[in-house]
Amino acid sequence: MELRLHNTLTRSRDALRPLDPLNVRMYVCGPTVYDHAHIGNARPVIVFDVLFRLLRRLYGAEHVKYVRNITDVDDKINARAADRGISIRELTEETYRWFREDTAALGCLPPTVEPRATEHIAEMRTLIERLVAAGHAYVEQEHVLFNVPSMPDYGQLSRRPLDEMIAGARVDVAPYKRDPMDFVLWKPSDMGVPGWDSPCGIKTPGRPGWHIECSAMSWRHLGETFDIHGGGIDLIFPHHENEIAQSRCAFHTGVMAQMWLHNGFLMLEGEKMSKSLGNFVTIRELLEEWPGEVLRLTMLSTHYRQPINWTRQGLGFAAKTLDKWYRVIGDVEAESGADNPFEHEIAERLSDDLNTPSAISHLHHLADVAEHEEASSALRRRFKGAANLMGLLTETESAWRARAKESVALDEATIGALIAERLAARKSKDFKRADQIREELAAKGIVLMDNKDGTTSWEVAR
RNA sequence: GGCCACGUGGCGGAGUGGUUACGCAGCGGACUGCAAAUCCGUGUACGCCAGUUCGAUUCUGGCCGUGGCCUCCA
């Protein structure tokens, strides 16, 4: 099976040819830890988790290395810590903990490595000194800057020719820049701001610029070149462009990563998500109302490169779908592995540039197939295994139902008593009272189901 | 201003040079005391205008519309 992915570098759907199939390497830009992650942050986390799972299936779990960094040095962090009157370390630790909990709830596997920027300052200094030595960077007023014109083919990823960018530049050019396009690799730290020993003989302590951390961490954990680099579409310029400049010029390589993947933006109820307009929602807030799996299925219902419109309606669709699928699988164990033909069929759809909507469509079909096979649980086990490849249907129906029932306002005993009363009413043909109880519970989001064997069970309405 | 995406049926959302995507909702039916769930059946589509073609929703050009990047941002 060939994995084809849309490569931003070539603007075409390219087959993945790992540099080393025994060590397939992927780097994804992770969060800056200063606040709760919002649902837009969840998109790359979920999308690249699906890719990670697919790569593990194609190349073997032990042959895939997935690195997602934690940025714990940044001016936003400094400002937030000061606002809250806590230390930077407290803020980043707390935020990182939240992030881990959120991503786990979304059903994402932990990456192979989650490196922190502050633990890679030495690598950053090494890179910076190499760039200066090679004539790609210079020291000015205690800053170290990357000299963009020193790299003739700068701009390949974003396809912005240099002269156009200079013409379009409308930012005030800092006096220490030789060229308007030059960007900061290292800058001095004032008192009260975290600082480390500076490179290049600069006496004042300093801190890294925005882009150098990813070059440093990908180098340390994946090498000078690797297979896949991912992130949000907004990172193409300048972040990824500058990462490429740093890494390629430091190592004298033709590429940094072979494949560059970018997920599209997220809108909220048709509006641009904007903190200043107040329309943004954190993962944590959504998790109070919906199981993480509902968020995950909702996110995967739209192809990763398309803009996604995040709506309550979409969440409702996903919840309803999962209700159905869990009913189909019951409490069976998943069948996973190369021998499961259903899983293979899903893998094929995912191999076509992570076509998750098509894969989900096929899961609907597989659910129908599995449901009709009353005699054997084998197909249900295969269906579950296929869904598991996307990180879906990872628990049992019992666990899923129990989770949904947690959110109900009434306690089990009260519901049970009302069900018993209704059964008695039905027995004595008092259908008026029976319907009254049904409506009473329905008003509280509870749906009653009269089973064939004479019992009555209940579920949470969607 | 420069660069780049996208525009599919009531809604969500894939895909394709000629053949049913799929899901939800709707409608009809079966089942049910009534329901829920399930099952069977069923309608609606490719922004606009040209061009290429035997044939375009799918390719090309133009137009209109929406959104993104160019400054921190997934």
In degrees, rounded to 5, the angle at the alpha carbon of residue A441 between the alpha carbons of residues A438 and A444 is 150
Instruction: Using alpha carbons, list the distances in angstroms from residue A394 to A105, A342, A398, A400.
Output: 12, 16, 12, 10
The whole domain housing A353 covers 290-399
> Closest residue by Cα to the C1' atom of nucleotide B36?
A449
The answer to whether the CB of A258 falls within 8 A of the CB of A230 is: no
Rounded to whole angstroms, the distance from the CA of residue A359 to the C1' of nucleotide B64 is 34
Largest CA-CA distance found in chain A, in angstroms, rounded: 93
Alpha-carbon gap, residue A61 to A337, rounded angstroms:
12
Determine the pLDDT at residue A153.
Answer: 86
Residue-wise pLDDT for A334-345, tens only, equals: 999 889 999 999
Clarify whether residues A338 and A454 are in a common domain. no
Report, as an integer, the average pLDDT of A178-200: 90
Cis before residue A291, ω within 30 degrees of 0?
A: no
Rounded to whole angstroms, the distance from the CA of residue A311 to the C1' of nucleotide B8 is 20
Q: Considering only A72-86, A156-170, A190-204, which range has the smallest mean pLDDT? A: A156-170
Determine the pLDDT at residue A377.
Answer: 84
- By C-alpha distance, which of A67, A49, A66, A27 is closest to A300? A49
A450: which nucleotide lies closest, measuring CA to C1'?
A: B36
Rounded to whole angstroms, the distance from the CA of residue A78 to the C1' of nucleotide B59 is 53
Residue-wise pLDDT for A269-298, tens only, equals: 877 787 766 678 899 999 988 999 999 999
Residue-wise pLDDT for A315-373, tens only, equals: 988 999 999 999 889 899 999 988 999 999 999 999 999 999 999 999 999 998 888 76
CATH of the domain at A331: 1.20.120
A281 assigned to some structural domain: no
Kindly tell me if the per-residue pLDDT of A172 is higher than 60: no
Rounded to whole angstroms, the distance from the CA of residue A78 to the C1' of nucleotide B12 is 41
Report, as an integer, the average pLDDT of A127-144: 94
A45: which nucleotide lies closest, measuring CA to C1'?
A: B74
The answer to whether the CB of A35 falls within 8 A of the CB of A91 is: no
Percentage with pLDDT > 90 across chain A:
62
A284 assigned to some structural domain: no
Clarify whether residues A353 and A394 are in a common domain. yes
Rounded to whole angstroms, the distance from the CA of residue A307 to the C1' of nucleotide B7 is 12
Contacts of A188 (CB under 8 A, 6+ apart): A142, A143, A195, A198, A202, A204, A205, A206
Clarify whether residues A245 and A295 are in a common domain. no
Determine the pLDDT at residue A168.
Answer: 45
Clarify whether residues A222 and A294 are in a common domain. no
Clarify whether residues A297 and A221 are in a common domain. no
Rounded to whole angstroms, the distance from the CA of residue A452 to the C1' of nucleotide B30 is 16
Task: Report chain B positions within 7 A of protein CB atoms.
Answer: 1-6, 11-15, 21-25, 32-39, 67-74
DSSP A86-146: S-HHHHHHHHHHHHHHHHHHTTPPPPSB--BGGGGHHHHHHHHHHHHHTTSEEEETTEEEE
Contacts of A327 (CB under 8 A, 6+ apart): A397
Instruction: Using alpha carbons, list the distances in angstroms from residue A338 to A57, A58, A113, A335, A356.
Output: 8, 9, 26, 10, 20
Alpha-carbon gap, residue A136 to A145, rounded angstroms:
9
Contacts of A12 (CB under 8 A, 6+ apart): A6
A407 in helix, strand or coil?
coil
Rounded to whole angstroms, the distance from the CA of residue A169 to the C1' of nucleotide B69 is 13
Is residue A259 very low, low, confident or very high in pLDDT (cuts 50, 70, 90)?
very high
**Report for A96-105, A306-315, A334-343: range of highest mean pLDDT:** A96-105
CATH of the domain at A233: 3.40.50.620
Q: Mark which of A362, A378, A399 sits at the end of a domain.
A: A399
Is residue A234 very low, low, confident or very high in pLDDT (cuts 50, 70, 90)?
confident
Count of structural domains, chain A:
3
Clarify whether residues A324 and A429 are in a common domain. no
A355: which nucleotide lies closest, measuring CA to C1'?
A: B14
Interface pTM (ipTM) of the complex? 0.91
Rounded to whole angstroms, the distance from the CA of residue A275 to the C1' of nucleotide B69 is 18
A265 CB burial (10 A radius; 0-12, 13-18, 19+): middle
A267: which nucleotide lies closest, measuring CA to C1'?
A: B67
Clarify whether residues A260 and A297 are in a common domain. no
End-to-end CA distance of chain A: 38
A30: which nucleotide lies closest, measuring CA to C1'?
A: B74
A277 assigned to some structural domain: no
Clarify whether residues A426 and A390 are in a common domain. no
Taking all residues of chain A, what is their mean pLDDT, rounded to a whole number?
90
Kindly tell me if the per-residue pLDDT of A61 is higher than 70: yes
The answer to whether the CB of A144 falls within 8 A of the CB of A188 is: no
Determine the pLDDT at residue A277.
Answer: 66
Determine the pLDDT at residue A412.
Answer: 81
Clarify whether residues A382 and A444 are in a common domain. no
Q: Mark which of A382, A399, A416 sits at the end of a domain.
A: A399
The answer to whether the CB of A46 falls within 8 A of the CB of A296 is: yes
Rounded to whole angstroms, the distance from the CA of residue A298 to the C1' of nucleotide B31 is 32
A285 assigned to some structural domain: no
A236 in helix, strand or coil?
helix
Clarify whether residues A419 and A449 are in a common domain. yes
A273 assigned to some structural domain: no
Clarify whether residues A82 and A133 are in a common domain. yes
**How is residue A125 written in tokens?**
């200094």
How many C-alpha atoms does A444 have within 13 Å on its Cβ side? 18
A76: which nucleotide lies closest, measuring CA to C1'?
A: B72
| Helix%, strand%, coil% for chain A, nearest 5 | 45, 15, 35
A29: which nucleotide lies closest, measuring CA to C1'?
A: B74
A334 assigned to some structural domain: yes
Rounded to whole angstroms, the distance from the CA of residue A232 to the C1' of nucleotide B15 is 25
DSSP A262-325: EE--EEETTEE-BTTTTB--BHHHHHHHS-HHHHHHHHHTS-TTS-EEE-HHHHHHHHHHHHHH
A282 assigned to some structural domain: no
> Closest residue by Cα to the C1' atom of nucleotide B72?
A76
Rounded to whole angstroms, the distance from the CA of residue A363 to the C1' of nucleotide B22 is 10
Clarify whether residues A233 and A105 are in a common domain. yes
The answer to whether the CB of A273 falls within 8 A of the CB of A40 is: yes
β-strand pairing of A266-268 with A308-310: parallel
A10 assigned to some structural domain: no
A448: which nucleotide lies closest, measuring CA to C1'?
A: B36
